[in-house]
Structure 1
């Protein structure tokens, strides 16, 4: 009798396990897949990683896959060729695509960062830095036409420095090799992202003397965007995606840099946790992380002013043409 009961329990438990596995499988299959292409892997994008690690996307019924496609051109190519559903890249790329006469424009629907994310790093330690110190020096800048370089030139001009006359401006080095070039001895000053800027400071290779983010004001530096056709066919998905990002933005805003660092650490396995915290704290302090996904008209106009100042604006484009704020507004109201 006991043997029969034992066999019966075994069968029951096996059946429960099968149904449990099937249930999990069904749940996973029911999740809507969304492919994200990010322009680079950066602590600057902390809220995105929080949305993944805290399960905010899954809570919305989304199964996201994240791929790093280095460079704005590669990221936009992935989006346009249907290699990705959503791109995280600078808003200037959507302007470039539209200016080329695209029949399916790329629409900005959720802003992630609202300032430039680069810092001015000096080879020598400077206690009382002022921007005039750059005149006559060799400045290692970023790629021509990219947001870092355009913001850099915008800030320099605001301080009375003509980057093409007052400096020996070097900007023919690939984004991935700029830091290595400076570390090898090229340039007196360099424009760097984190965590490289802080790593250089820690190792004595350079010293952070100014923030381009503080100097340039609010600008849609990195935004989630998708093709207009995708957004029309996947309205619910885009709304759920935006809601997950908003939850993450609010989470980062209301939690300490140390807590955020611990959550996003899996995305930066080779970076010291203390350094991640330092970088998150620096970006939080200067308001780089947007606290909501709305890309407003003032920010859009500031972006075009910066592009125009750099001679890279193909034509003035209305905010309503390439920006959709209705989804973000709806998400925030709910």
Structure 2
């Protein structure tokens, strides 16, 4: 199976300028991330808020520029592309944003929102404008009669469906889904996930799926990538694979089990997440890890694979 996306040693550093009463500081929002996304697969990216998930998504689409690393999409070097070339290429790689309320211009009708990609790319569409709008809305389970509605006249779930329809307008091969269900009710979340599964099968899509919800990621994705303070600490080739990193295990153990006799008693992590501007030497997880040893305080663990299962830990489980 060929790779649609190849990411190597991708990093993004944000700097805070100094002043009379403070020194300049640097934060590695994404730090040396590497992975492959094969065509037709779904990789889930999980981790706590501030771990770099959304920054990674924007780096992949070059909505922000990386500090270092390489990006290849379907064999093309993305970092060698000009702004005009990237604009054209983004027709094949689209993003669904976390907040459906701010993702759509409140002055646009649903019809204008879903047709916006054709206007931006200067592309002709097959058939009449009305038929294309109706087809896109039907694809995401919406009534074509809502085409004249404004965002404030439709629900949050419908807004997210409009965002998905807009992303699919030019028939991309890659969708980057940045927590597409986070702001939706549980019942609507299930509808959106079911829709994404159907579209993946019907259109042969490839997904990078970012979420806080580990149980959802385990259900929806083929592989899982766990991030902590900008780094990938574990990459599981199978969603049923047991965790080997203490952080991943805590995340998995904390997911809710609806059956009472399957619920687990877990030991919560001690300590606080360190400041990304002031990371400890060695492993960034060292102050919260119950398995930390002396080497963890001095050497940064390297992500290394065994049987396709990669973990960055000096004392893996």
State the TM-score bracket (shorter-chain normalisation).
Answer: under 0.3
TM-score computed with the length of structure 1 as normaliser = 0.26
Q: Which has the higher helix share?
A: 1
Q: Which has the higher strand share?
A: 2
Q: Indicate the structure (1 or 2) with the bigger Cα radius of gyration.
A: 1
